[in-house]
Amino acid sequence: MIYHKTKETLKEQPKTWLVTGVAGFIGSNLAEALLKLEQKVVSLDNFATGHRYNLEHIKNAVTPEQWDNFTFEEGDITDLDFCRHITKNVDIVLHQAALGSVPRSIDNPIASNASNATGFLNILTAAKDNGVKRFVYASSSSVYGDSKELPKVESRTGNLLSPYAVTKMLDELYGGVFEKTYGMETIGLRYFNVFGKRQDPNGAYAAVMPKWIAQMLKGEDVYINGDGETSRDFTYIDNVVQMNILAGTTTNEKAFGEAFNTAAGGRETLNNLFHAIANGLKSQLPELEIKDPIYRDFRPGDIRHSNANIDKAKEILGYEPTHTLEEGLKESIVWYINDLELRIENG
């Protein structure tokens, strides 16, 4: 497997990686994985959506020697001077910082644009000016818009349905232009409904997976938007970490200036997901009582069905998903149960 060989090579030839949005769900998992591979990690976050306790999670997951290779600075990618400062002496950028969520962008398109478009261009330009050749960034399955084609193929998208989708498509356009104009090795990763440890279950814009797990654990009502037959390609965090590391190290020039579906390549309805989570929780906590879901209106801007074709990622990057939805869900449930117990213990 290419990924295994890549990790062994990195241990022997460590590099300096910048992880933006490091206090967030995906960023913190990326930093942890890189530190365990003996890499040097420079990082930033403004804590708009990330959490300081995620930095503690990273610290507790690695050795003291590995933690010494971690540098964090609080800052905002909308500050161009800060971006120029933080991208100095960096080999590879993994850009995760953004204001996520389709509903959030509909509620506040200005804020989403400032972070996801202006902030993106700032960090991309700063990296270019400081001689960073490899720039890997988070795009989104939202760029497929109203396309009804399944599975989704990178070369065919539809009409965009939200300001968030617009910003992510703009990022891809900038990535392609910077590759052609400046010779930067840019690679976009279109994330499909990522889930796993450290994903925040709280807040109005929380993703469905952690929110439902937390609500079921607390005996609260669980809401399903629409009829529950909306489907998604739920993708476990370890698969996303793999894609970032492969994109950050590939020598295949066909990857540069391109965007890749980052997914498991499957599809599950919200109704089936509800029952899978409920059954998974009850297998760990047989005494747990879980209420039937409550259905409400469809959410504006949502894509009806999402399922990724991952052939391009396999062929060009050597990607092979290590976790199915079922495998990832099992690990996630155990983590959330343990995390809730720790929170209760700590008051």
Pairwise CA distance, residues 184 & 180, whole Å? 8
pLDDT of residue 205: 67
Q: Write the pLDDT tens digit of every residue in 190-210.
A: 999 999 999 988 877 678 999
- Say which residue the tokens 């420079």 belong to: 42
Residue 282 has pLDDT above 80, yes or no: yes
Q: Quote the pLDDT of residue 241.
A: 98
**For 284-341, how does the pLDDT look when each residue is reduced to its tens digit (9 = 90+)?**
999 999 999 999 999 887 778 889 999 999 999 999 999 999 999 999 999 999 876 5
Q: Is the pLDDT of residue 343 over 60?
A: no
Catalytic residues: 164
Give the tokens for residue 176: 């392609």
pLDDT digits (tens, 9 = 90+) for 118-153: 999 999 999 999 999 999 999 999 999 989 899 999
Arithmetic mean of pLDDT over the chain: 94
Quick: pLDDT tens for 11-56. 999 999 999 999 999 999 999 999 999 999 999 999 999 999 999 9
R_g over Cα of the chain: 19
Share of the chain above pLDDT 70, in %: 97
> What number of other Cβ atoms are within 10 A of residue 258's Cβ?
21
pLDDT number for residue 71: 98
Query: Could you tell me the pLDDT band of residue 347, with boundaries at 50, 70 and 90?
Result: very low
pLDDT in the model for residue 306: 87
Please give the pLDDT value at position 10.
97
pLDDT for the residue numbered 341:
57
Task: Give percent of the chain with pLDDT exceeding 90.
Answer: 88
Q: In this predicted structure, what is the pLDDT of residue 72?
A: 98
157 to 11, 86, 177, 187, 237: CA distances (angstroms): 38, 34, 19, 18, 24
Q: What is the mean pLDDT of residues 265-290?
A: 94
CA separation for the pair 79, 20 (Å, rounded): 13
pLDDT value of residue 150:
92
Say yes or no to pLDDT of 9 above 60. yes
Task: State yes or no: pLDDT of 346 exceeds 70.
Answer: no
Find all residues with CB under 8 Å of 175, minimum gap 6, and list them. 124, 135, 137, 186, 187, 188, 257, 259
Does residue 265 carry a pLDDT above 60? Answer: yes
| Domains, the chain, with CATH or none | 2-194+237-265+308-323 (3.40.50.720)
Kindly tell me if the per-residue pLDDT of 86 is higher than 60. yes
